[in-house]
């Protein structure tokens, strides 16, 4: 092999053009793989959120509990009166259970958002006002439960989510 042929086969930094083409193809494949994984993760979060919302819309007990919570809030009923565990009237017990069911549902979603299991942007656009309404209505209830149980962690996820959303509410599209 003469010097001219060797110079043609050696490309850049002492390697052949074939080496660089192969390396470039490998890097492009790796980047495409990362992009696919990212996209699938985003799609998975969106799908999980949609599945959850569909399930919520078909859960009659949750729908009734949510309606009760909103009705209590509209009528300016103090939720904290339903905190004591020694309630005797069936209606008071049912109201307490409804408040806890709604709070637990929102706490689950808030934790899922914080952990990245659900897409916060989509959920915020769909449910921001409802989450803020529930938190504003049940704040006294939650603080009273925390005081009685001596645990500041009860319903902390929904509190953090609501406070964050309150600082930057959903803005209308223009």
Token readout for 37 is 């994984």
| Least trusted range by pLDDT, from 74-83, 101-110, 130-139 | 74-83
- Categorize the per-residue pLDDT at 5 as very low, low, confident or very high, splitting at 50, 70 and 90: low
Residue 8 has pLDDT above 80, yes or no: no
Prediction pTM value? 0.76
Q: Which helix (H) or strand (E) holds 24?
A: helix 17-58
| Least trusted range by pLDDT, from 87-91, 145-149, 163-167 | 87-91
Q: What is the pLDDT of residue 11?
A: 64
Distances from the Cα of 86 to the Cαs of 27, 60, 105, 151, in angstroms?
Answer: 65, 27, 24, 19
pLDDT tens digits, 26-72: 999 999 999 999 888 888 888 888 888 889 889 999 999 999 999 99
Task: Compute the average pLDDT of residues 79-99.
Answer: 84
Q: What is the pLDDT of residue 120?
A: 92
Residue 17 has pLDDT above 80, yes or no: no
Residue 6 has pLDDT above 70, yes or no: no
Residue 174 has pLDDT above 70, yes or no: yes
Q: What is the pLDDT of residue 40?
A: 87
Residue 7 has pLDDT above 70, yes or no: no
Distance in angstroms (rounded) separating the CA atoms of residues 141 and 88: 18
| Domain ranges (residues) in the chain | 17-167
Quote the Cα angle for 91-158-148, to 5°: 55
Helix, strand, coil share (%) of the chain residues, nearest 5? 80, 5, 20
């Amino acid at each position: 092999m003469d010097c001219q042929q060797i110079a043609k086969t050696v490309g850049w930094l002492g390697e052949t053009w074939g080496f660089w083409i192969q390396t470039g193809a490998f890097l492009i494949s790796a980047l495409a793989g990362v992009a696919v994984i990212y996209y699938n993760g985003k799609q998975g979060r969106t799908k999980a959120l949609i599945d959850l919302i569909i399930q919520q819309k078909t859960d009659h007990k949750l729908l009734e509990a949510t309606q009760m919570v909103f009705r209590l809030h509209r009528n300016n009923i103090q939720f904290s009166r339903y905190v004591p565990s020694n309630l005797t009237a069936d209606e008071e017990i049912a109201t307490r259970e409804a408040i806890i069911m709604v709070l637990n549902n929102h706490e689950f979603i808030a934790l899922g958002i914080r952990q990245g299991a659900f897409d916060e942007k989509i959920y915020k656009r769909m449910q921001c006002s409802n989450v803020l309404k529930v938190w504003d209505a049940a704040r006294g209830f939650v603080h009273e439960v925390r005081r009685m149980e001596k645990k500041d962690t009860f319903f902390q996820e929904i509190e953090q989510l609501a406070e964050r959303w309150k600082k930057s509410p959903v803005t209308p599209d223009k």
